[in-house]
Structure 1
């Protein structure tokens, strides 16, 4: 029986929390404010340092990826940078396989990476750059030594030209590592100097290939209409109008990065996951230590909060314990199965009700125990009295030990053995030690064997014994226990069927379960007695006459065996028409 649900506002937990919540909330808020104020500066400093370190590692590995086709030679770079920063640096592939690691031990396979190193998809938040493709990627645009000298001369000439107009400029590295001059200060005169060196011969082929990729992406049928300058400025000229088509130019410009990634991908290292972690614990999140003063402040406030919470808890707890002590005293009062008063509808009231239910169950259990002892004594007394009477008669010379006397004594001894065996089985079932040993069994064969064994009893009683089977089920059961179950039901049915009656045993499989029915045409069981059929030592003949035999233990044992197999045993009956016991077992 489930205990009644206690409303939340009446529960002990709610009352205890309500008593200490106000002071706890205020103290916790004070602690949180003090901790946030004391640690914010330290966290900012440590966070800035951590971000700076991550950025430097990321930039160095990004440069490596931009200038190498793979990561095979990156281990020395990782080890040197890790030693300088006193951090653990790990590179993993996108499917979390180790590329390089500055330390031994398991890689942080499940942690969140600090960044993804991909020169074709640069993290702008870490680098602060404007372009997503690293400008250090040269790829197929690598110049010969002579072309590099020529380009340096052209850049020097461009700067001299700017100086002549009163302007100044500096050399910057553009896409593909190609240098150009950028004006840093304008003079009074307008400068007309060439700032970008013309296309070198080594650049003609890759630029043509890039033009074709852009044209294919932008849907241009004629790649020659797409113009790409050395600084990767794109224009699309309409041949009919003889001028730049702005819409087509914008569409082609939008395809530039995609085309460049496709062209440069074979020349750079594949994307890699970067982890910059603590050497001792790579899976741990960054920890920002507090100063001693901040630790003392936080500890003091925490101690005060704890002390106040303990005081409130003790005061409220003492008040809540009083009814528990009263329950303890009431439970210890002398008397048989004392009931305790239920004083409320909270957990203590539920406890009092549970104690009362326990006392009631104990009283019922004691009554059942006494009744069982009385029943056992009664069942054992009859055969023991018979055995004792005949033994005394033989000793006094009033009877001789002949065949009929020995048969009588053997029958009484067998009856005693049956009672003892039944009690042992019931005790094992109560203790949970009634073991089953299932094995694949043809149920029909087993049932037929039991029916054949009871056929002499049926013939003696003038009862017709009939078996019927629907199919030939093969089920994993304990064959010994199954024979005992069916035997108990057959014995009971034969005893309660008058001469000329019929007992029918039938097996069938339906809805994934095995069903065994034992039906008789006996006197039936009254509806008021059906709930007691499986009670121990219960018999329909209240006078306990031995005319029908039986100890009242067969049916309880049969139900325990069915339950131990994961099934059940039920009964239906019509007074004057007969009784049907149904065993259902899982297949």
Structure 2
């Protein structure tokens, strides 16, 4: 168990973020220190070489002045101290620190490969350079004539003690800088990683509660970044799941209620026949058949509703003439409208095309016209219109009295909703047809609304997006 906890800790986002920040910072610090160190070494080497070149040129100038004054180099052969004074004076003049001459005396060894040569390159004073060290000769000229040479090393290394100490001190400073960067990273990386991972852990716990069915709780993460938007989306998902759960509960309750009535009637009639209370005559069989057909119709409507809501219905969309489909559906209902004692008016604009499924659109118009016939009193009127307005296809089906109160208009499209009004008392129905119609309309990127009809009944208005072919 302990090993498992350690493995989980290593796999946690905070640990990974901490290690990532640590490695990135250390890499940057290492590269920065390395770049500074290399840059310093090169810059210091160039500075020292430049200083050394200036000292050499100063020595050449002093030797030139000496030869111009004396005309020979014999003084250097007989007086070795004169050569040392020349070296010291060159450093003092170049460094502009005359009160530090005793320090320069300790650095005479940096001139151990310097030597004074005659014009024919005979050694006057100094030490010959070893064969492995490259040297160069600086000409000493008087009146454009070479009178001697100053032998100097071709490249001056950091060999004296002072330079080594200075270089070592700088390297220690760079190491301290790297150590401070490491400490700074260790101190800040963990809380920084926690700042990003803490809301993730909260989101994880909240999603775990949602997976257990607790959709009523919201998570509050007051951030404006991606994590804040993720929390808002999860809250929206939780609300949606909560609403769907409530709808599902109400749906099963309503379905149970709708099925209970015809099943109870059917059971009572069958038991009466079994007990001999009623005779199995033609009338009773017709009543049983009617109850079975009612159950069959309800089950078919529920199946269609579930299919449209869950998306299991297949939509075979293509460019179709909506005016042709609506005209055919109206023609199919002509006899039923006459039998119901209703009059029909229709105003159908021709050549109105839509990208849709012809079978589902026929089902849509069948439901709406069937509802209009069922809920309109005898002697009433049904008006059907199809038109194009501003890149929108508008279908409007309205009927005469009785109507539906305005407070119920939006609820008409809820499944199994039936307002307790005169429109429903005498005509029954399961309250599923308009819910199916709404799902079909939405599958075609349209909208459907219910309003009061100018005829005194209900008006159903559908808006579909028009196809480009309508503009040609």
**Mapping of residues 180-579 of structure 1, within 5 Å:** 309=185, 312-318=188-194, 321=197, 332=209, 337=215, 339=217, 342=220, 344=222, 358-439=237-318, 441-473=320-352, 475-541=354-420, 547-574=426-453, 577-579=456-458
Which 5+ residue runs of structure 2 have no aligned equivalent?
Answer: 1-16, 43-176, 468-472
Deviations 1:412-457 (A, max 9, x none): 3333233222222332233333221235544344323322433444
Deviations 1:256-287 (A, max 9, x none): xxxxxxxxxxxxxxxxxxxxxxxxxxxxxxxx
Normalised TM-score (structure 1):
0.44
User: Deviation digits for residues 151-170 of structure 1, max 9, x if unmatched?
Assistant: xxxxxxxxxxxxxxxxxxxx
Question: Contact (CA 8 Å) 2:400, 2:453: kept in 1 or not?
Answer: no
- Tell me by how many angstroms 1:478 deviates: 2.2
Q: How many Å separate the matches in 2 of 1:409 and 1:303?
A: 92
**Deviation sequence 1:505-553 (CA, Å, 0-9, x none):** 2223344443322111123232222221211111122799662222111
1:502 to partner: Cα distance: 0.4
Is the Cα contact below 8 Å between 1:28 and 1:305 reproduced in 2? no
Structure 1: segments with no counterpart, 5+ residues: 1-16, 43-300
Q: How far is 1:27 from its partner?
A: 7.5
Give aligned pairs, total. 313
- Greater Rg, structure 1 or structure 2? 2
Native 8 Å contact 1:525 1:579 kept in 2: yes
TM-score (norm 2): 0.54
Q: Does structure 1 retain, via aligned residues, the 8 Å contact 2:218–2:235? A: yes
Change (3 A) 1:539 1:33: same
Report the Cα offset of residue 570 of structure 1. 2.4
Question: How far 1:342 moved relative to its partner?
Answer: 3.9
Between the aligned partners of 1:340 and 1:321, the Cα distance in structure 2 is 19
How many angstroms apart in 1 are the aligned matches of 2:293 and 2:214? 40
Would you say 1:31 and 2:31 are equivalent positions? yes
The one-character-per-residue Cα deviations of 1:178-233 (angstroms, maximum 9, x if unpaired) are: xxxxxxxxxxxxxxxxxxxxxxxxxxxxxxxxxxxxxxxxxxxxxxxxxxxxxxxx
| Structure number having the greater helix percentage | 2
Contact residue 418 and residue 424 of structure 2 kept, 8 A: no
